[in-house]
Amino acid sequence: MELKKKLKPRIKARIRKNKQLIKKNIDNFFEWIKGAELVELKNCNIEEDPVRPELDNVFRRSYGRKIYGVKYMGEIHAVMCFAYTNEIPKNVDELDKFSHDAFLQSAHRDQNVGQIAIAYTVWSKKKGGGKLIVKEVFKKIKNSNHLNRLITLSPLTDMATKFHSRNGAKLLQINETSQNFEYEVIKKQ
């Protein structure tokens, strides 16, 4: 009984200290997110791309296609690649064709390429980076004058399904080699 009385305050103190350490570690863990910024990239390391490493930087930057990164303290922590289209692609060949068509159409009109932003690959090098880049790109699309939809061209994997579902996207369709999710874009009035 005597030993139990001596241990109880020690255990409580240890638990309090551990709670403080865990809270501090969690705060530090996500601190980088507050200082991160969305930047357009001229290229990315395609070997890091777990979804479409076969697409080179020329493809990712041609015909109105863009590469965005989340940058913190001079380092890129997440990457997302887009194509701007007027139709929803079911595979990379259609993505290429549709973005090329939208680019050519914009050259004859207002220079705004496509009405749909197609996210065809995303990856993160740091915990929380994937969710952050989706959120930041989503903001950018909401503030654009010509984009009215954010749709993915995702692989047929549980990981992609869970990622987009957890981040608020709705499944549009399942294709032969891909699936399309849509993030609802509500424009500011």
- Per-residue pLDDT tens over the stretch 153-171: 999 999 999 988 988 899 9
Q: Name the percent of the chain lying above pLDDT 90.
A: 47
Annotated domain spans of the chain: 1-35, 37-183
Average of pLDDT values for 40-46?
A: 94
Task: Return the exposure string of 170-180: e unless at least 16 CB atoms fall within 10 Å of the residue's CB, then b.
Answer: eeeeebeebbb
Query: Cα–Cα distance between 136 and 80 in angstroms, integer?
Result: 11
Distance CA 71, CA 77 (A): 6
Tens of pLDDT, residues 68-96: 999 988 889 999 999 999 999 999 999 99
User: Which is more confident, 87 or 130?
Assistant: 87
Under the banding of pLDDT at 50, 70 and 90, the label for residue 13 is: low
CATH tag, 37-183: 3.40.630.150
Does pLDDT of 121 surpass 60? yes
105, with CB counted inside 10 A (0-12, 13-18, 19+), is middle
Per-residue confidence at 123, pLDDT binned at 50, 70, 90?
very high
Interatomic CA distance for residues 167 and 135, integer angstroms? 9
pTM: 0.76
pLDDT band at 148 (very low <50, low <70, confident <90, very high): confident
Instruction: Give the pLDDT of residue 8.
Output: 67
Residues in the chain: 189
The percent of residues in the chain predicted with pLDDT above 70, rounded, is 76
